[in-house]
Amino acid sequence: MSNRPMKSRQVNVYPRFERFWHWTQMALIFFLLFTGFAIHGLHHLIPFKPAVMLHTIAALLLLTVWIFVTFWLFTTGTWRQFLPRIKGMIPVARFYAFGVFKGEEHPYHKTMWRKLNPLQAATYFAVKWFIFPAIWGSGLLYLTYNFWDGIPNSGFWITLVANLHLLAAFAILSFVIVHVYLLTIGDGFRKHVQPMVTGFDDVALTPEQEAYLEQNEPWRLKG
């Protein structure tokens, strides 16, 4: 590895499929929250029965997307991006808690093989491996209640499943709120969102990585 300084370049780090599933997932999650709130009576913009039907359809679509995403993550090795690590987490957490309000520079610089900072990786890891499975499992149990309502204490279990589903939904809502908030700080909303639209983002490259991309994958470099 070269000891020469790393150079920041515009690199295509978000392929089309990743951008597709990100925006598709976002749209479906917002729609599920909207219909879910209608089901629980938090608004009356849509009647109960249509809300249940649309919520179920959207949930099955999102589950299908997640199945394809999981396959893609493991076949491409992208799942490694979401492995949490302790190193560097405290400076990043301190930046979001205090530094950003003092105009400090972000302590983490995106690299070719590590798009997520340590705090992002830990958060996405928790969401993808704990919260998403909780809402998948509880939702499917909820949907198939007619097949197991004959078991002892089924009323207790369906109440437990419903509360777990609701708790996971609020956890996802909290994640969405924090995620959107973080997009507004630092370099600004447009600067943060643009890479997930165009695919290109500022990445710190070693001279070897830059030379490799210029020789073998020039389409990934911009400018």
Phi/psi region, residue 88 (left: phi>0; alpha: psi -120 to 50; beta: rest), is: left
pLDDT in tens, 181-201: 888 887 778 888 999 999 999
| 39 bridge partner residues | none
| Phi, psi for residue 221 in degrees, rounded to 5 | -105, 145
pLDDT tier for residue 1 given thresholds of 50, 70 and 90: very low
pLDDT in tens, 65-90: 999 999 998 998 888 888 888 888 89
Domain ranges of the chain: 7-222
Tell me the average pLDDT of the chain. 89
Domain 7-222: give its CATH architecture.
Up-down Bundle (1.20)
Q: What's the pTM value of the predicted model, to 2 decimals?
A: 0.86
Rounded to whole angstroms, the Cα distance separating 107 from 123 reads: 17
pLDDT in tens, 128-159: 889 999 999 999 999 999 899 889 999 999 99
- Tabulate helix, strand, coil % of the chain (nearest 5): 70, 5, 25
